[in-house]
């Protein structure tokens, strides 16, 4: 009995096959990145934080008013003005809501816009309307969104 040995030659990938595989992976990666759109996701996350911050400021201000015979902090005006940050060194030209953070009674600190506010401001604005309601606004909202709460 004679045994015949068959020699099989193992063949590797050709350069063309490798290039096609890399091109397919690159195309799929590009589609996934476009579908996820991380910049938009981050902007939406910052806007969600702004919405929470606006409501937090408004709730703390109303709680203050409930405890003070319906009077809002005296620094709140009828002109929409930026709120002074808790760690600010000078609140000139800004609305000072430090009465809300005194002894952490209503709020621990004034929230600051997620992208960071310039100077001593918190990045949020507040105003009292003619009929005695409060409006808190996040003027730096992204994606052409308007974040404003009036109560």
What are the CA-CA distances from residue 79 to residues 44, 83, 109, 135 (Å)?
A: 28, 12, 23, 10
Residue 36 — pLDDT band, cuts 50, 70, 90?
Answer: confident
3-state SS class at 47: helix
What per-residue confidence (pLDDT) applies to 35?
82
Instruction: Place 79 in a pLDDT band, splitting at 50, 70 and 90.
Output: very high
Distance in angstroms between the alpha carbons of the first and the last residue of the chain: 99
* Higher-confidence position of 26 and 34: 26
Q: How far apart are CA 95 and CA 75, in angstroms?
A: 6
Q: Are 123 and 140 in contact (CB under 8 A)?
A: yes
Pairwise pLDDT comparison (6 vs 59), residue with the higher score: 59
Please indicate, yes or no, whether the overall pTM of this predicted structure exceeds 0.85.
no
- Tell me what the mean pLDDT of segment 135-146 comes to: 96
């Amino acid at each position: 009995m004679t045994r015949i040995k068959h020699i099989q030659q193992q063949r590797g990938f050709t350069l063309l096959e490798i290039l096609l595989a890399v091109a397919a992976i690159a195309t799929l990666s590009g589609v996934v990145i476009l579908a996820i759109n991380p910049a938009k996701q981050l902007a939406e996350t910052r806007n969600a934080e702004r919405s929470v911050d606006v409501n937090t400021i408004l709730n703390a201000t109303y709680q203050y008013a409930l405890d003070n015979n319906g009077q809002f902090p005296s620094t709140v005006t009828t002109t929409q003005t930026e709120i002074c940050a808790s760690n600010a060194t000078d609140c000139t030209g800004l609305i000072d809501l430090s009465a809300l953070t005194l002894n952490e009674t209503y709020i621990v600190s004034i929230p600051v816009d997620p992208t960071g506010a310039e100077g001593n401001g918190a990045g949020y604005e507040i105003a009292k309307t003619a009929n005695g309601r409060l409006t808190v606004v996040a003027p730096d909202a992204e994606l052409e969104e308007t974040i404003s709460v009036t109560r």
